Amino acid sequence: MEHSPAPLTRRFGALLIDWLLCLLIAGAFADPVREPWLAPGILVVEYALFVGFFTQTVGMKLMRIRCVSLATGTALGVPRALLRGVVMLPLVTALIMDADQRGLHDKAAGSVVVTA
């Protein structure tokens, strides 16, 4: 299935929005300095559920992009979206891209980020 990759500016914007939301949510429950794992944990859960079921996180929805299966163009499902979120956590994996603008996290999950 042929997909046109979403612009990097939209992808970065979506990640920034999602990260800020996760920081706000984590801050409502704990001190982020004392519990530094909470915000990244929320981000991974957000990716697993929202990308897994709906192809979009809140940030992706606002930036009009989607993360879909490279093979089918449909939702990844929770296990693959969870894998994608965990591999993306170091962020450097998202910066290492191939010619199709797929990062290591996309390759691991068999996904591609496209314009919605």
- In the chain, what are the domain boundaries? 8-115
Residue 1 has pLDDT above 80, yes or no: no
Q: Phi and psi dihedrals of 72, rounded to 5?
A: -115, -20
The confidence band for 3, taking pLDDT boundaries of 50, 70 and 90, is low
**Minimum mean pLDDT among 19-33, 49-63, 91-105: which range?**
91-105
For residues 48-68, give the mean pLDDT. 97
Q: What is the pLDDT of residue 56?
A: 97
CA–CA distance, 16 with 5 (Å, rounded to integer): 18
pTM above 0.85, yes or no: yes
Cα–Cα distance for residue pair 39/51, rounded to 1 Å: 17
Name residue 4's amino acid: S
Concatenated DSSP letters of 78-95: HHHHHHHHHHHTTSHHHH
**Mean of the per-residue pLDDT values for the chain?**
92
Burial class (CB in 10 A: 0-12, 13-18, 19+), 62: middle
What lies within 8 Å, CB to CB, of 61 at 6+ separation is 116
Task: Give the end-to-end CA distance of the chain in Å, rounded to a whole number.
Answer: 16
Q: What is the pLDDT of residue 60?
A: 97
* Band of pLDDT at residue 78, cut at 50, 70 and 90: very high
Asked which of 1-10, 50-59, 94-103 is least confident by mean pLDDT, the reply is: 1-10
